Amino acid sequence: AEHQHVRYNPLRDDWVLVSAHRVKRPWQGQLEKPPPEDVPRWDPNNPLCPGATRANGEVNPQYEGTFVFPNDFPALQPDAPEPDDSGHPLFRAAPARGVCKVMCFHPWSDLTLPLMSLPEIRAVIDAWAELATELGASYPWVQIFENKGAMMGCSNPHPHCQVWASSFLPNEACLEDRTQCQHLSQHGVPMLLEYAEQEARRKERLVVENADWLVVVPYWATWPYQTLLLPRHHVCRLQDLCDSERDNLASIMQRLLIKYDNLFEVSFPYSMGWHGAPTGPYLKEDCRHWQLHAHYYPPLLRSATVRKFMVGYEMLAQAQRDLTPEQAAERLRSLPEVHYKKRAE
């Protein structure tokens, strides 16, 4: 807690430098603007709202729950041509095809996941699972991710996420596949199942838990209040969750995200995403080494206006953090589970 040291991340096979004393240094750097509190519930000019017209001229239906549509500016397309052969091994390219979708969580623009009801969050989880099943029938990787807040590059405050299905395994997926496979081979148990059992017993990095799930600030966390959402039981993919596991997932997501918002009493920015066993051709392969999990990467460090930047040493050497995961977990754990906007109700 007092002296710098490095910690090993077995999921990524790399190290992070922990320098807890640096959080005491005075901050004279950039200050971020807090997110706006006056987001209109419905705006006809917002392309994600019910009834609004999107950039391609299509009109959204008057949806009342979740709403999924093809991304109007997709990073991946299903019919992309083969790249030319450069003729030299230092200039390699490979085909990249896929599908990109956008999913709105709710028809109201001024609502975020922690302020939604449990049935509404459960509907989001069910829609995630449906998309993972649909796209995973043919594509080897389906990446569900949410960028929340302008600080994380989100250009629209309406509650939504993206789903990109690709014809290839992305870098992070390949890395986690290799490390989890090696761990199962060497230790006879899935890495993240063993890790969840250890964290549940030690409790020093535990944030919230219930019968089926736990949230921890991982021992190897890079971002200040990074968390890892883990099942207590072995499950490979989001679509494999039973009804009770989905209900408990909705509950623990709500509890975590309320704590995030309560930390600095602001709509807490983050990037999050689900990682599970590959799909498509991998559905016929043995993927027991995989354990479903979700990563939450929030950038805020000291307040709603001071963020952690990944620059300099982090870009050129290795990741570095300014407070210990145990300190971050203790602070999150101690926060109330009633949203700050609802305390006066």
pLDDT, tens digit (0-9, with 9 covering 90-100), for 103-147: 999 999 999 999 999 999 999 999 999 999 999 999 999 999 999
Question: Could you tell me the CA-to-CA distances from 160 to 102, 148, 325 in Å, in that order?
Answer: 7, 8, 29
Return all residues near 163 (Cβ < 8 A) that are at least 6 apart: 68, 100, 101, 102, 103, 128, 131, 135, 142, 143, 144, 145
Q: Does residue 201 have a known ligand-binding role?
A: no
Structure tokens of 166? Answer: 């690709």
Do residues 110 and 335 make contact, with C-beta atoms less than 8 angstroms apart? Answer: no
Q: Does residue 295 have a known ligand-binding role?
A: yes
**What pLDDT does 307 receive?**
87
Q: Compute φ and ψ for 108, nearest 5 degrees.
A: -90, 130
Pairing of strands 306-307, 5-9: unpaired
Q: How far apart are CA 163 and CA 71, in angstroms?
A: 9
Q: Does residue 72 have a known ligand-binding role?
A: yes
The residue assigned the tokens 């017209």 is 53
Q: How many C-beta neighbours within 10 Å does residue 63 have?
A: 15
Do residues 186 and 120 make contact, with C-beta atoms less than 8 angstroms apart? Answer: no
Domain boundaries, the chain: 36-80+93-342
Q: How far apart are CA 241 and CA 132, in angstroms?
A: 12
Provide the β-strand partners of residue 306. Answer: 303
Residue-wise pLDDT for 61-81, tens only, equals 999 999 999 999 999 999 999
Per DSSP (E only), the strands in 244-328 are 270-275, 293-297, 300-303, 306-307, 319-321
**What pLDDT does 36 receive?**
74
**What pLDDT does 38 receive?**
83
Pairing of strands 293-297, 160-166: unpaired
Q: Does residue 7 have a known ligand-binding role?
A: no
| Cα–Cα–Cα angle for 71, 309, 112, rounded to 5 degrees | 45
Question: Could you tell me the CA-to-CA distances from 195 to 2, 198, 220, 272 in Å, in that order?
Answer: 25, 5, 12, 20
Question: Could you tell me the CA-to-CA distances from 273 to 46, 164, 293 in Å, in that order?
Answer: 24, 11, 9
Q: Does residue 120 have a known ligand-binding role?
A: no
Q: What are the residue ranges in the chain where pLDDT is below 50?
A: none
Q: How far apart are CA 256 and CA 55, in angstroms?
A: 34
Q: Does residue 174 have a known ligand-binding role?
A: no
**What pLDDT does 316 receive?**
97
Catalytic residues: 160
The residue assigned the tokens 């080494």 is 289
Q: Among 174, 236, 228, 242, which residue's Cα sits nearest to residue 196? A: 228
Q: Does residue 239 have a known ligand-binding role?
A: no
Q: Quick one: how many helices (H) and strands (E) in the chain?
A: 6, 14
Q: How many C-beta neighbours within 10 Å does residue 178 have?
A: 12
Q: Does residue 3 have a known ligand-binding role?
A: no
Q: How far apart are CA 102 and CA 132, in angstroms?
A: 13
Give the CATH class of 36-80+93-342: alpha beta
Provide the β-strand partners of residue 163. Answer: 101, 144
